Amino acid sequence: MLTQSHLRIKARSMCLTVLAFFSITALADEKIPLSFSPQSTLEKESLAACGRDQTDTFLFVNVVDLRSDEGNIRVHIYPNKPEEFLKSGKGFKVDVPTKKKENMICLAIPDAGDYAVTVMHDKNANGKADVFSEGFGFSNNPKLGLSKPKYEKVVMTIPRGVTAINVKMNYIFGSDKKKVDRRRRLRRH
C-alpha cells in the first residue's frame, strides 16, 4: 500500500516530467506543410480507411486513456534529428478536436523514415500546456521519470504504407478517477 509520502514523491516525479515536457515542447505556431495534415478522425473500425493509397506514408495514431472528450488533441511529429526533439519550432504539429475518450487520427507523413511522436490533450483548447489538467504521451509509450524521455526511447520507424500506433495519455495525477479521488482525500488529512 502506498503511503502519503510515497504518493507525494510519485506526484512530484510526474510533475517534474510534465514540466520538462511542456517547458520544451514545441507549442509555437510554425507552418505545417500541406502534406502533413490529418485525413480525419476515424472510428475504430476505420483503420482500413487510413491511407488507402499504399504508395504514400501514413501514421494512424490511436490515442488512449484520455481523461475527457473536451478540447483538442495535438499530435507533434519530430523528424530523425535527435537534437531537435521537443525543441520549440521544430517538427510538425496538427490539432484535431477530441471526439471521445479514445481517438483515432490518420496523418499523412511527408516521407518514410524515423520519427518521434508526441501527443498532448489540450483539454480547454487554448493552445497552451496547462500542466495540472492536461495529459501527454509519446510514441513507444516509454516509462516516464523525472525528466523528458530520451529520443532513443521514443523514436520509431514509419515505412511506406500505414503504420498504426497506440499512444497512452499520462496526467500528473494519473488517468484513473478512483486513484485521483483517493489522492485528494489523503492530501486533506
CA–CA gap between residue 189 and residue 31 (Å, rounded): 49
Cα 61 to the center of its chain, rounded Å: 9
Block residue for cell numbers 483548447: 125
Q: What is the pTM for the complete model shown?
A: 0.70
117 beta partners: 77
Tens place of pLDDT for every residue, the chain, 189 residues?
545 554 444 444 444 344 344 433 433 333 333 344 444 444 444 667 777 666 688 999 999 988 888 899 999 999 999 999 999 889 988 999 988 766 889 888 889 999 999 999 998 898 887 777 888 999 999 988 778 899 999 999 999 989 999 999 988 765 556 665 666 677 676
Which one-letter amino acid corresponds to residue 124? N
